[in-house]
A and B are shown apart, each in its own frame.
Chain A
């Protein structure tokens, strides 16, 4: 039964994957304005039609949309994500390279914000109703209400510009040209965007955890535990927090989607060479294959996160009847 469930989920993932990339393929190819006329907007009249035709032929743009679609899917199944108009290199290489930079920010930020959010949320869910709880709640509402790009701008302005504690942007100092890659330098550059991303995702985690705690504290088994004479510490850690953590697993998936959009702003403001910057770049250049590749990677990430959350959930919550 368990294997059946896993196979069913996997099949579903493939379905979601194809539906996702098909929709983005159609939308992207319906967009007005192609690469060559956009690139050569000023010299369009002087470019020879032959050159334009040769470009279109090389990238298969002279074929019909359906034909292009099947070629695209066929290539994809062979692990070929196509070539970028702008850079002329395989898209998979570009996307993977940029993804690495994004993950350098995303992974620590996700883990940190989860850890801090869950910890604060659990503590104040337990002590709800106190004066401190109310103040923390208001502070969290405040942090969340301010847009992530505004936090980022303020941090650059205060810590980068006025205090000079951090670089204004980028990922390496100019010094690497002589000394080679300096990991400490990269860390220094990544710290401020990482802190911003973390700060912006703490309130969401905190709020969910606190609500989940409030819900769990009211359950009958907590009253039973108290009736059994267990110590408050045992009730908190062994019964309440453990159960209240369950909805957090689903949260991780939502978090990822939130972070993908958030990182577009953060990367733009901090000039961080990740997926978000790449997307803005590809968008401005009308580099359709590259955009398609970015969507493909985002979709893949979301699907993998969904799948992991599903599997984790059925593992840690025995009440979920797997396969039904």
Chain B
């Protein structure tokens, strides 16, 4: 019985490893597409290269939009900004969250109380509506919007990391380091950070996924810089300018399917990583 369970879990872990590798490959492939998009696109995405609303053909693989721009080229060009928003927004949120979480969890006491209460207060503010309002009123570039997203979204991560650091700080090796006279910042960087790094990486993968979806969502709602080509803006255009009513699936579907594909890949990677580091499934905590 026991052996059987162990076998199944082992097999499952193997499968998850495969999933993780695949998702890394997909991410690398998309990054390459993003970097080399000027080379890969058959047309300039901004210029009018055909008659409006052309059907897919050899000349235009995915046809043209209502302005006569090549849809395929726009799709390729949209990759970069989607990845950028995900990585910058998610990265910033994780960075702030990790910093606040480690400080709060390590020092404990009054500092921890102050930070935790502060986060509780901040979490009452509806962040997503606030992001929408800021994005629409400030009329800023997607770069600034992704920074805004990071600044507005770190609270959740700070909470998770804080609770992890809190229990880690009770371990003997931390007390030992303290007894040997190591400074607080040294302990936080050399001892705490490496131990919570796996958790941070998992949260980062999910953050990138969430922020990518959100970035495309903002574009879909018609927010953000209209001159930047993004998948969200493409969906919005196809939806409101007739792609939907005319049944032009090659205009509406590709950007949505591609964000869904990327999101699934990232989320599979995230779950397989989580599976790896989750002590609940391993039943032992490894302290390096």
Contacts and interface: CB of A to CB of B under 8 A. Distances in A.
Interface of A: 12, 15-17, 19-20, 23-24, 27-28, 31-33, 129-130, 134, 141-142, 144-147, 149-150, 153-154, 157, 161, 211, 214-215, 218, 257, 260-261, 264-265, 268, 279-280, 283-284, 286, 291, 294-295, 298-299, 302-303, 306
Contact of B244 (A147, A157, A268): A157
A20 B125 contact: yes
Interface of B: 5, 8-9, 12, 15, 120-121, 123-130, 132-134, 136-138, 209, 213, 216-217, 220-221, 235, 239, 244, 247, 252, 256, 259-260, 263-264, 266-268, 271, 280-281, 283
Contacts of B127: 257
A147 B216 contact: yes
Contact of A214 (B264, B266, B271, B280): B280
A20 B121 contact: yes
A303 B124 contact: yes
A213 to B, nearest CB: 11
Nearest to B156: A254
Contact of A147 (B120, B133, B263, B281): B263
27 contacts: A16-B121, A17-B124, A20-B125, A27-B134, A31-B137, A32-B138, A129-B8, A142-B264, A145-B263, A145-B268, A147-B216, A147-B217, A147-B260, A150-B259, A150-B260, A154-B256, A157-B252, A214-B280, A218-B283, A260-B128, A261-B129, A264-B129, A264-B132, A265-B220, A280-B132, A286-B137, A302-B124
Which of A23, A32, A147, A211 has the most chain B CB atoms closer than 10 A to its own CB? A147
A147 to B, nearest CB: 5
Contacts of A257: 123, 126-128
Contacts of A268: 221
Given A24-B125, A129-B5, A147-B213, A32 B137 contact: yes
B121 A27 contact: no
B216 A16 contact: no
Secondary structure of the B contact surface, majority rule: helix
Contacts of B267: 141, 144-145
B145 to A, nearest CB: 15
Secondary structure at the A interface, as helix, strand, loop or mixed, is helix
Contacts of B136: 283-284
Contacts of A265: 217, 220-221
Among all A-B residue pairs, the 8 with the closest Cβ atoms: A261-B128, A298-B126, A31-B137, A145-B267, A145-B264, A145-B263, A20-B124, A16-B124
A261 B130 CA distance: 10
A283 B235 contact: no
B125 A299 contact: yes
A291 B133 CA distance: 9
Nearest to A269: B239
Contacts of B15: 134
A153 B124 contact: no
B125 A23 contact: yes
A145 B220 CA distance: 17
Given A145-B263, A264-B132, 13 more contacts: A19-B124, A24-B125, A147-B216, A150-B256, A260-B128, A265-B217, A280-B221, A283-B132, A283-B133, A283-B137, A295-B129, A299-B126, A302-B126
